């Protein structure tokens, strides 16, 4: 390729796609070098397939509760065709992949198959073919790679990562999960709903250390009450093969053992090795590329986004960063703002939050007021028969600015976006109080929580 490109993107996942599309929209000549599938890890091995499986598991749970809605299901245990389930999952992924490639082609973006690496500040070489492409700007969007946890026996057959767990076409009788990342909790609920005896092994006292403490406790109780065994504040010493061929997870400090047919022990690292970054002087930390708020590295005109860059590994974060990088590659001066970036779990009820927890606000010296309502008093939650949640709003006491929101409720993943927009526009809790939600809706609980900041909720007992 003789023509100088405005942007070369290494990696065609969420962040790479967004950057390439945005740069092309601004008139740039763009090339993507992708070694596997366009759409990346999220589309093919994580977000999309796991949420499809969670939707199926949720439906299984609804079928079992059908009697509460007057619907008589004639079988005690609904049948499960895992091949049909996975075939539909794969069909959805293939449709999304094809759509992604068509969009890139429609914008005139050149697609090259292979693994790219930087051989100069303005040059990317494609491994294997040796083809070299020059560009004014280069973006590293190579995502992350699976890595084994540092546990003796983690390489035994039957100890798997999330990619293998999502592809299982046979439900294990006993399933042990080591960790409390969002994927761990989602898969715990999925496999339990599909018939596994699930044990969740968590190193700390809180299931979700980064989430609101009360929300985390409520989610833990829901999982426990459903039948998931949770072992908190324990570490794993070894994994070994039992006499009967099953796996045995030995817990440290005499906390006992957990027998399982499959063990999930997953973690991920930035996919930055072999890209030529260190040779060019790009600063990195624990494999993650360090970037500024423009998504630019320590070497000018080289950018990094998504899992390859420092920070949490979330697809929506990668997408937003990709847009910023694409704009800056085309001469704009855009900057990334993480303040109102939501996070979520697709459990049921769903968990979602944005901004600060109470503890984080206190650590930053922000005096806050809290508004909180249980979904048990929300009419739509009653209709859905999902009343074990809560909605919490955190506001700055001095100015009323919303600094955080935490939701455990049906539809939390969508509802949190409303609060994120409010935070992005620097809305006050008083302005959120004036929002008129649909009735009945879970959104009413959000407004109730805002009203409760000033103890004005109409649906809570008088103080």
Residue 71: predicted pLDDT: 93
Say if CB 385 and CB 68 are below 8 A apart: yes
Distance CA(264)–CA(431), nearest Å, equals 45
Contact partners, residue 52, CB within 8 Å, separation at least 6 = 88, 89, 92
Question: What are the structural domain ranges in the chain?
Answer: 7-143+271-329, 147-266, 343-453
CATH number for 343-453: choose from 3.40.50.720, 3.10.20.90, 3.30.390.30, 3.40.50.970. 3.30.390.30
CATH number for 7-143+271-329: choose from 3.40.50.720, 3.30.365.10, 1.10.10.10, 3.50.50.60. 3.50.50.60
Does the pTM of the predicted model rise above 0.75? yes
Say if CB 234 and CB 203 are below 8 A apart: yes
Distance CA(201)–CA(199), nearest Å, equals 6
Looking only at the bridges linking them, the beta strands covering 402-409 and 350-355 are antiparallel
Q: Above 80 in pLDDT, residue 263?
A: yes
Q: What is the mean pLDDT of the chain?
A: 95
Let me know if the fold of 147-266 is the same as that of 343-453: no
Give bridge partners of residue 354 from the DSSP assignment: 405
pLDDT per residue over 83-98, tens digit each?
A: 999 999 999 999 999 9
Distance CA(230)–CA(200), nearest Å, equals 5
Looking at residue 377, what DSSP letter applies? G
Peptide bond into 163 cis (omega under 30): no
Distance CA(111)–CA(120), nearest Å, equals 21
Which residue in 44, 286, 439, 459 is the catalytic one? 439
- What's the chain's length in residues? 463
- Closest by Cα among 53, 60, 54 to 87: 53
Distance CA(294)–CA(191), nearest Å, equals 41
Does the annotation mark 439 as catalytic? yes
pLDDT band at 239 (very low <50, low <70, confident <90, very high): very high
CATH code for the structural domain at 147-266: 3.50.50.60
Q: Above 90 in pLDDT, residue 253?
A: no
pLDDT per residue over 104-125, tens digit each?
A: 999 999 999 999 999 999 999 9
């Amino acid at each position: 390729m003789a023509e100088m490109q405005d942007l070369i993107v290494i990696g065609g996942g969420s962040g790479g796609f967004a950057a390439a599309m945005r740069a092309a929209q601004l008139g740039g000549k763009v090339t993507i070098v992708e070694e596997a599938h366009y759409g990346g890890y999220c589309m093919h091995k994580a977000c999309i397939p796991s949420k499809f499986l969670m939707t199926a598991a949720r439906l299984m749970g609804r079928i079992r509760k059908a009697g509460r809605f007057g619907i008589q299901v004639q079988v005690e245990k609904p049948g499960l065709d895992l091949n049909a389930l996975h075939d539909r999952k794969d069909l959805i992924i293939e449709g999304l992949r094809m759509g992604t490639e068509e969009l890139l082609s429609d914008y005139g973006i050149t697609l090259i198959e292979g693994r790219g690496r930087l051989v100069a500040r303005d040059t990317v070489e494609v491994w294997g073919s040796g083809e070299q492409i020059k560009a004014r700007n280069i973006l590293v969007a190579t995502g992350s790679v699976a890595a084994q946890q540092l546990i003796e026996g983690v390489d035994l057959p039957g100890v798997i990562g999330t990619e293998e767990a999502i592809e299982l076409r046979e439900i294990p009788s006993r399933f042990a999960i080591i960790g409390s990342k969002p994927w761990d909790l989602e898969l715990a609920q999925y496999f339990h709903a599909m018939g596994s005896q699930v044990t969740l092994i968590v190193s700390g006292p809180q299931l979700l250390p980064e989430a609101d403490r009360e929300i985390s406790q409520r989610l833990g109780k829901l999982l426990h009450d459903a039948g998931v065994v949770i072992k908190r504040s324990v570490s794993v010493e070894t994994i070994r093969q039992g006499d009967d061929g099953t796996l045995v997870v030995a817990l440290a400090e005499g906390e006992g053992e957990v027998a399982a047919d499959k063990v999930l022990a997953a973690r991920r690292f930035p996919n930055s090795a072999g890209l030529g970054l260190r040779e060019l002087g790009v600063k990195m930390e624990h494999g993650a590329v360090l970037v500024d708020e423009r998504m630019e590295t320590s070497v000018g005109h080289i950018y990094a986004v998504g899992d390859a860059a420092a920070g949490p590994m979330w697809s929506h974060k990668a997408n937003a960063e990709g847009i910023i990088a694409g704009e800056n590659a085309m001469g704009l001066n855009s900057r990334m703002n993480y303040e109102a970036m939501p996070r979520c779990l697709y459990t049921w009820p769903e968990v979602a939050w944005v901004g600060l927890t109470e503890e984080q606000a206190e650590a930053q010296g922000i005096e806050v007021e809290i508004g909180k309502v249980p979904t048990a008093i929300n009419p739509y939650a009653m209709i859905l028969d999902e009343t074990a949640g809560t909605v919490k709003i955190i506001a700055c006491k001095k100015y009323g600015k919303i600094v955080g929101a935490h939701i455990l409720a049906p539809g939390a993943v969508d509802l949190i976006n409303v609060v994120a927009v409010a935070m992005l526009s620097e809305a006050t809790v008083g302005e959120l109080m004036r929002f008129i939600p649909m009735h009945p809706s879970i959104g009413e609980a959000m407004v109730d929580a805002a009203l409760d900041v000033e103890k004005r909720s109409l649906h809570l007992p008088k103080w």
